[in-house]
Structure 1
Amino acid sequence: MDVPRRGMRVGAAVLVVGFTGAGVGAGEATAANDVVYPPGTLEPALSRLASLDRAALRQVIVSPMDSGATAAQVRVSGAEGRWLGTSGVADLRTGAPVPADGRFRIGALTQTFIATVVLQLAAERRIDLERPVQHYLPGLLPLSLGPVTVRQLLDHTHGLPPVPHAVRSASWFFEHRFRRWSPRELVALAVSGAPRFVPGTRQEEGDIGALVAGLLIEKVTGRPYGQAVRERILAPLHLRDTSVPGHDPTVPGPHARGYESVAERDGATRQVDVTEANPSWAWAAGEMISSTADLDTFLVTLFRGGLLPPEQLEDLFRVPDVPHVSGGRAVHSAGLTRVDLDGLSLWGRSGAFPGSTSGMVATRDARRRLVFSLNTLRMDEARPALADRVLRAVFAPRASQT
């Protein structure tokens, strides 16, 4: 569906905000994922943050179109209760409001699920993180690339060349959006190139590590990686909004539609509906669908050791001490990214899919958590500024530390 922008007035943004938690007033409740903490027991990370400013959050997301997005869903959970906010429109043609329980494509957040399953298999001694991937998947990677350990695969220090379409342009997407890709085809496209660096010496995030990890899960378990994710994570946590779609191009259940802003030759701009697409070109690196509620449940359970024993939970947060290819030191662990904000270390993951940008971020103790989805209009742009404004509004430091 094409929605012309010139000469058409898009309906006014709709803001719906829900509150639950201590001090909210009528209808207050404690979020199901949270424990009740006695007064005065704040852990260091939470004690360094300002009280959650709900008015500031409302203001940040009230007009997503001003920031290049058609819709926003934001969920903040933790020791201070829960805040839910939606804004924008779910459909540019009808002006329908954004559903608070809307589902969306989570992009690279899929890789946190992948890493969790690999670490579970490591805990079961079915995978050795220090053993080369070539031991489990002989012939998948050319000998010229050298041995790559499973740990290096997870923490992006593998040095494998990227998938050629990893930086996806709108033109590439429109040409291939309904094509069926096989994971081995994607890996073959990547490893035909030269290695980026000697494994273990630098860090560079990309899709190739998760693609190989997905194949590793399938080799070790003898079943599709999606089945392993469903049996090990989705079913035990009752994540009913979360799915591994395979070749299904649709988004099931309530959702906001995604669009791409396309310039015409005459200078006009139209919004092309990109909601439906075969996600197999992302596969284990970014095909999953979820909701803010399900991702919050996954995040808090993961951080609090509900999915991994202590040794593997430590692996989840271990960042290798190597340089990052873009400068500075490494920031990615096995499935997560460390975000340093005003001197406070946060942990989470960001993801993107045509028409959508999403993220999940939390303090290490999981006592303040953020999950969001933004329906962005340009798939070739970096993470939108609106995402950073939401992040800073949720994790603002106490005034004495500014």
Structure 2
Amino acid sequence: MTNPANLRTRTARWITLAAAGAAVASLTVGALPASAQPNPAPVAGTGTIFGHRPAVDEEALAKAMAPDGVATGTMVRISGPGVRWTKATGPLSQDPAASFRIGSMTKLFTSTVVLQLVAEGRFTLDTPVREVLPDTVPAHWKPITIGQLLSHTSGLGLPCEPLGDGLGLTPERVVRAWTSCAAAPESPVTVQQYNGANYFILGLAIEKVTGHTYADEVRRRITRPLGLRHTYLPQPGDTSVPSPSLDAPTPKEPWAWAEGGMISNAPDMERFMKALLGGRLLPPAQQRRLFVMPPLSKSAKEPYSAGGLAPYTLSDGTEVWGKTGSMAQYSGGVFGTADGRRAVTYSFLPTRTATRAEAIEHVTGIVEAAL
């Protein structure tokens, strides 16, 4: 007989898109470490370079991207003033426009739409979710606000109902698994805790106030205006990845919707991240929220901003912001400088034997060398 506690744990791993292989199950869910070792001196590389300074730290990237016991292959794309560089190692497609599942990077699209709706006056960050979705959060719970969902400070923990393998679920069913619990979340909330359920609720809030599907709102507000022709949310049951894809066909995966279900490619993710960080998608007031760190984030193992961004400080003191994500065999992320002028997108295939620490070091090496 299946142990219910184990089932809830497995379900939580799925819903937060932390499954990128048994040994690195929680790698790409959180922010990168606060510091890293200094890089070797940059050397000229073989990427496409404009300007006079070295485009990337080729030596460090070659080391980080080499297939080994941590990753069988890695794709990296870097872009900025005077820089345009793309490379893939191992069995990954060499096509720079190869598609892949972006997992929890989907949350950045969700948070962007939510902040746009705040700017339009559809709701505020302090609006209780029950005012938008009366049947979602129980009345006897202390109110959970839109802003708390965005910043992972809602207090939601593990689901109290099993979700099985995740196939055939609806957003409403997923949310009910977290909100049908007899006991209310701890109040007041004392820790920032990353939880994909927050973004399922936000997806429902988007649909409620706009009268359109989540996918339609992302398309109308983000992908179409930015010309992201390879970025979309598949329909439920659609397990295909457009060709060329970064990797060979992947096993059938649950539909993770506004929490982590989108497909994109490196050029599109780069364009989106530069637009987001560069202030082209949000008015100034909402743009500032992207970089505000909630008080509860100070003690969090994986800190996130009020807008759902993960901060990371490079070894030279440069502050960068981004998001990681996993789905199927892919583990990836997108990070950029706060002004949006330089960005890196990466995806890799972790080995089954890689430890969490080794995988984090792999990602840290890429981000340090790229930005």
Contact 1:52 1:80 in 2 (8 A): no
Partner of 1:300: 274
The equivalent residue for 2:179 is 191
| 2:94 paired with 1:98 | yes
Structure 1 Cα separation of the partners of residues 157 and 136 of structure 2: 14
> Which residue of structure 2 aligns with residue 40 of structure 1?
none
Report what 1:373 is aligned to.
Answer: 347
- 2:367 is the alignment partner of 1:391: yes
2:131 & 2:260 partners in 1: Cα distance? Answer: 25
- Name the Cα RMSD after superposition: 2.7
Q: Structure 1 vs Structure 2: percent identity of aligned residues?
A: 34
SS of the equivalent of 1:145 reads coil
The answer as to whether partners of 1:203 and 1:330 remain within 8 angstroms in 2 is yes
Q: How many residues align?
A: 322
Cα 1:337–1:195, aligned 2, differ >3 Å: closer, same or farther?
farther
Checking the alignment, whether the CA contact within 8 Å between 1:331 and 1:339 is kept in structure 2 is: no
Secondary structure of 1:365 counterpart: coil
Q: Is the 8 A contact 1:154 1:209 kept in 2?
A: yes
Q: What CA deviation, in whole Å up to 9, does each residue of 1:298-338 have, x standing for no partner? A: 011111111111001011222111256655x9443312111
2:252 aligns with 277
2:82 aligned partner: 80
Assess, with a 3 A threshold, how the Cα gap between structure 1 residues 213 and 76 changes in structure 2: closer, same or farther.
same
Larger Rg: 1
Q: Would you say the 8 A contact 2:88–2:94 is kept in 1?
A: yes
Higher strand share: 1
Q: Which amino acid aligns with 1:127?
A: F
For residue 252 of structure 1, what is the aligned residue in structure 2?
Answer: 242
What TM-score do the two structures reach when normalised by structure 2? Answer: 0.79
2:40 corresponds to which residue?
none
Map Cα deviations across residues 226-247 of structure 1 (whole Å, 9 max, x no partner). 1100111000111011110122
Deviations 1:259-289 (A, max 9, x none): xxxxxxxxxxxxxx6x142441x22110001
- 8 Å Cα contact 1:201-1:323 kept in structure 2: no
The 1:164–1:364 alpha-carbon spacing in structure 2 relative to 1, beyond 3 Å, is farther
Report deviation, 1:158: 0.8
Q: 1:337 aligns with which of 301, 310, 313?
A: 310
Asked if structure 1 preserves the Cα contact closer than 8 Å seen for 2:75 and 2:88, the reply is yes
Q: Which residue identity does 2:242 align to in structure 1?
A: P
Match of 1:161 in 2: 157
Q: Give how far 1:180 is off.
A: 1.3
Letter matched to residue 192 of structure 1: S
- Residue 223 of structure 1 and its aligned partner are, at CA, apart by 1.3
Aligned counterpart, 2:261: 287
Structure 1 CA distance for aligned equivalents of residues 194 and 348 of structure 2? 22
> What pairs up with 1:133-148 in 2 under 5 angstroms?
133-148=129-144
Kept in 2: contact 1:17–1:85 (CA 8 A)? no
1:233 aligns with 2:206: no
2:330 to 347, 353, 356: 356
Q: Which of the pair has the greater relative contact order for Cα pairs under 8 Å at 6+ separation? A: 2
Tell whether the 8 Å contact from 2:239 to 2:252 is kept in structure 1 after alignment.
yes
2:296 equivalent in structure 1: 322
* AA partner of residue 187 (structure 1): V
Q: Which residue of 2 aligns with 1:29?
A: none
Alpha-carbon distance in structure 1 between the residues aligned to 2:197 and 2:269: 23
Of residues 307-316 and 367-376 in structure 1, the stretch that sits farther from structure 2 once superposed is 367-376
**Native 8 Å contact 1:113 1:229 kept in 2:** yes
Higher mean C-alpha deviation, range 238-247 or range 378-387: 378-387
- Selected match of 1:56 from 40, 60, 68: 60
The Cα of 1:82 is off from its aligned counterpart by: 1.2
Q: Distance in 2 between matches of 1:127 and 1:376?
A: 40
The structural deviation recorded for 1:394 is 2.0
Q: Gapped runs of 5+ residues in structure 2?
A: 1-44
Contact 1:156 1:206 in 2 (8 A): yes
SS in 1 for 2:295: coil
The offset of 1:201, in angstroms, is 4.1
| 1:400 aligned residue | none
Superposition TM-score, scaled by structure 1 size: 0.73
Q: 1:306 to 1:323 in 2, by over 3 A?
A: closer
Contact 1:114 1:335 (C-alpha < 8 Å) held by counterparts: no
Cα offset, 1:134, TM superposition: 0.7
Shift of 1:211: 0.5
> How big is the shift at 1:393?
1.8
